[in-house]
Chain A
Amino acid sequence: MGRYLARRVRDGLVVVFIVTTVTFVLIHAAPGDPFSGQSDSSRLSPAVRAQWRHEFALDRPLPVQYARYLWNVARGDFGISFARNEPVATALARALPNTLLLMATALTLSFAAGMGIGVVQAVRHGRFTDRLLRAGSLAFYSMPDFWLALMMMLLFADRLRLLPATGAVDVATHALLSPAGRLADRLLHLVLPALTLTLLSAAGIARYQRSAMLDAATEEFVRTARAKGLTERRIWLRHILRNALVPVISVFGLAFPALLGGTVLIERVFAWPGMGRLTVEAIGARDYPVVLASVIVGSAMVVVGNLLADVLHAAADPRLRRTA
């Protein structure tokens, strides 16, 4: 198992390297200048632009820039953000925990809810509850993420005034709160973006879980269990559910990058100060160092997610442990 993991980590590093290289070439090939300004009012003179390009070594040949970038990254230096004028590592250190918090919450909730709904649907297969949950999950599955986000915001922040609309904390009072109050404030701000992501992804997971459960329910070991006189509850939860976990764990590997992509829009709508928002703003501003660093972190997260899915696979299915 250890050698298998080491091999996967090595492969993952190769993937990150390739993704970084392709992104480096693409972002530099994209039209637009990092110092053209982001509005009609703030265009820089060509002289100042040339000076800034020189300072950031953008006037050197692309291979030289690339080699220099790799050397710096190898030493843990992601450079200085063109648009924010601060070390990229600082921007990442600020944004990454927020995204991880949002993703971890959404992932946990969406798998808990999705698997729960899938189990209920499978157990109640063909009945009214199944049809109702199927229609509900299909509705959420079909919704555009930005639209659902705005609707959630309008409902809970504007109409009901139950939850804050945007941000990660209450900017006016957060600094004055006690540690417990700060935690509560942060959790309160987490609810809307996490809930939106959960609703969007739980629906898909529920459909996978339901279908995996129904497939497993037709297996011979289920008939054997029934012949042995086990209760239906025990059969569904101990035998069918456990065997239906393997395909759902595969979904976990896929859901991780999908959720990472999903947070981009959600973070923008809810003004959540995470990686998605950082990356989108950096792409718009042609902030090459931030884009590249975000891609490195994002691809590393995807690799780790897949690795985690493999480990969970092995934990759920002993046959995989032997072949690994």
Chain B
Amino acid sequence: MPSYLSRRGTRLAGVRTPPPARAPYRGPVPAVCLAIAAALLAGACGGSDAGRGPTGGTVVVATSDPDNLFPPVAVSASARTVMDQIFDHLAEIGDGLNSIGDAGFKPRLASSWTWAPDSLSITFHLDPRARWHDGVPVRSGDVVFSVRTYLDSAAGATNRQDLANIDSVTAPDSLTAVIWYGTRQPTQFFDATYQIYILPAHLLKDIPAHELRTSPFARAPIGSGRFRFVRWVPTQELVVEADTTNFRGRARLDRIIFAPIPDANAAMTKLVAGEADVYETLRPEHLAQIASRPEIGTMSYPGADYAFLQFNLRDPRTPDRPHPLFAERELRRALTMALDRRSLVKAIFDSLAVVSMGPVTRSQFTADTTLAQLPFDTARANRTLDSLGWRDRNRDSVRVRNGRPLEFTLLVPSVSRNRVLMSVLIQEQLRRIGVGVRLEQLEFTTFLDREGKGTFEAVLGAWHTDPTPSSIRQTWTTSGLVATGGSNYGSYQSPVFDALVDSAVATMDTQRGRAYYRRAYQTIIDDAAAIWLYEPRYIGGVHRRIRPTGVRADAWWADMADWTIDPARRLPRDKIGLRAPSPPSTPTP
């Protein structure tokens, strides 16, 4: 097991933590101390975030191609992987992924911030050392431009609806930006930081908002992060290199090359053949292959996904009517109790997943493993179905009530091998209690289409969560119904659940928020709006000469600037070094 694996989930290396408060020293400063301080400052590359360890080396990441590098509109995870190297936020979310208030957030472009007494505005004080990769200083005008771009409907920011509470942004001076809010909300700080990348106004302000997505900047961006963009040949390579004069310190690595490999087995071969250094999501069958390769280690991270069997509570043919089966709460509970979820997860993932506890992942700060789950109890499930009038009268192993058999169609995305396997096992387990399941495998885009339109009886779905648990409002509450533009595809509706989520989302107190979320989770679990199946635990393959740090649940790449490469084990590509730092060509507006 590599040394870094045992440190997963602990405090991340290379991350600055505030020193303990103590009384300032007011006596004379010895000359020798000044000399030492000056020497340290001179050698510190001007940055406080620079981790310790050797610099240099090249990391090749086998990944997929980004769709775009203009942050407001980029939708793919691979784009975020790259953008997080090139761009900065005002502040960075902490390791605990807390999204209420500013607890745990670390300074980035903003060196500090202050809340207004009424909490309706936050003043961000920018780090005066911050520079764009073309040398221009980062100023409050960039913050103003960025926030306005995210809010401008013409720019088409994908998360614009998440920022609806931001009213305006002002810049009292060149190093101060104030973000104003419509109402007090616990995620105000999260919205202004995690959701918004700061963009260079001097390069973008003259481009019409609707053209930003297809502008040259979107393919050759200039940011302020610890890596600067070098080149992108789509489907072939995307290269970023250390910004040697970055205000947060030079990245420890010389460069990262993102190499898109569409086939998982090919990516694995590239890793074991030494052509790639990182492959982010190994499959269970790859682990044995990895085990026999001493030069390849693993990097484990909890991930932020959960998968479920979602019932459609409305009739897919006539959505204004309840579903003939799943509108009945007791039936849904019986189906949940008929599944041995632990054995399902074990059979498919072994140790690479855990049973999901509800519409929340263990990486979110509201996760609570003590939530009461519906037990695996086939006898009770059978009794419930009997009491509801579902009987196997003609002994064909499918229960019937009023002439209607107890069977339904389950949509499964064929691209997900895990969900396909899971669906077959679910079909078998439900068959044992007299429930027929017809499996319908669909190509992914078609699956999303059917799911989004609500034209299904049940789906094996999955959600990727961001750190804020408030996203369940969009996916499981009445305000998230498809008709209102939300993603509550199963049309689960519960006034109690809605009220608890509304309270949880509105409270500024972390403990009270947790308590509300806990009650909300318990309500939806008891109502069996879905059968909560699994949370994958991700394992990436990493060449052992590389020492990763800061593998965060929502972003394994979060601290790649502080990854190091053992000088004694460097490959030829690690010895290339950096070329003379020349900023990439500035896109013409």
Cβ of B499 under 8 Å from chain A: no
Which residues B442-472 have CB closer than 8 A to chain A? 443-446, 448-450, 452, 461-464
Decide: B76 and A38 in contact? CB cutoff 8 A. yes
Decide: A173 and B235 in contact? CB cutoff 8 A. no
- With a cutoff of 8 Å between Cβ atoms, the chain B residues found around residue A168 in the complex are 236
Cβ of A227 under 8 Å from chain B: no
- With a cutoff of 8 Å between Cβ atoms, the chain A residues found around residue B67 in the complex are 83-85
Cβ of A312 under 8 Å from chain B: no
Cβ of B118 under 8 Å from chain A: no
Interface size class of B (residues with CB under 8 A): 35 or more
- With a cutoff of 8 Å between Cβ atoms, the chain A residues found around residue B262 in the complex are 268, 271, 277, 281
A59 vs chain B, min Cβ distance (A): 15
Closest to A161 in B: B273
Task: Give the contacting residue for B236; candidates A44, A150, A171, A176; CB below 8 A.
Answer: A171
Task: Give the contacting residue for B448; candidates A43, A48, A170; CB below 8 A.
Answer: A43
Decide: B275 and A48 in contact? CB cutoff 8 A. no
Which residues A30-47 have CB closer than 8 A to chain B? 30-33, 36-47
Supposing A165-B275, A172-B257 touch, asked if A32 and B449 sit within 8 A by C-beta, the answer is yes
Decide: B448 and A171 in contact? CB cutoff 8 A. no
Cβ of B582 under 8 Å from chain A: no
Which residues B347-377 have CB closer than 8 A to chain A? none
- With a cutoff of 8 Å between Cβ atoms, the chain B residues found around residue A52 in the complex are 156
A189 vs chain B, min Cβ distance (A): 10
Supposing A36-B449, A277-B235, A281-B262 touch, asked if A173 and B269 sit within 8 A by C-beta, the answer is no
| A30 and B160 alpha carbons, distance in the complex (Å) | 29
| A176 and B573 alpha carbons, distance in the complex (Å) | 11
| A36 and B443 alpha carbons, distance in the complex (Å) | 13
Decide: B235 and A273 in contact? CB cutoff 8 A. yes
Which residues B11-66 have CB closer than 8 A to chain A? 58, 60, 65
Task: Give the contacting residue for B449; candidates A31, A51, A86, A171; CB below 8 A.
Answer: A31
Closest to A168 in B: B236
Cβ of B146 under 8 Å from chain A: no
Decide: A278 and B448 in contact? CB cutoff 8 A. no
Decide: B234 and A94 in contact? CB cutoff 8 A. yes
> Number of residues in A with C-beta < 8 Å to the partner?
57
A148 vs chain B, min Cβ distance (A): 13
Mark each residue of chain B from 192 to 222: 1 if its CB lies under 8 Å from any CB of chain A, else 0: 0000000000000000001001100011000
A118 vs chain B, min Cβ distance (A): 32
Closest to A157 in B: B273
Which residues A267-313 have CB closer than 8 A to chain B? 268-271, 273, 277-278, 281, 284-286
Jot down 28 A-B pairs with beta carbons below 8 A, ordered by A.
A33-B445, A36-B449, A38-B75, A38-B444, A39-B77, A41-B77, A43-B487, A47-B160, A48-B156, A83-B67, A84-B65, A85-B213, A85-B218, A150-B266, A154-B269, A161-B274, A165-B275, A166-B275, A167-B261, A171-B257, A268-B262, A268-B263, A269-B263, A271-B266, A271-B270, A278-B235, A284-B443, A286-B445
Per CB-CB distance, the 10 closest pairs between chain A and chain B, nearest first, are A41-B464, A32-B445, A172-B573, A273-B235, A171-B237, A42-B75, A46-B485, A36-B448, A31-B446, A32-B449
Q: Which residues does B use to contact A, with CB under 8 Å?
A: 58, 60, 65, 67-68, 70, 73, 75-77, 153, 156-158, 160-161, 210, 213-214, 218-219, 231, 233-237, 239, 257, 259-263, 265-267, 269-270, 272-275, 305, 443-446, 448-450, 452, 461-464, 485, 487, 572-573, 576
9 more contacts with CB within 8 A, not counting A38-B76, A43-B448, A158-B269, are A31-B445, A33-B448, A42-B77, A42-B464, A84-B65, A85-B213, A271-B235, A271-B259, A278-B235
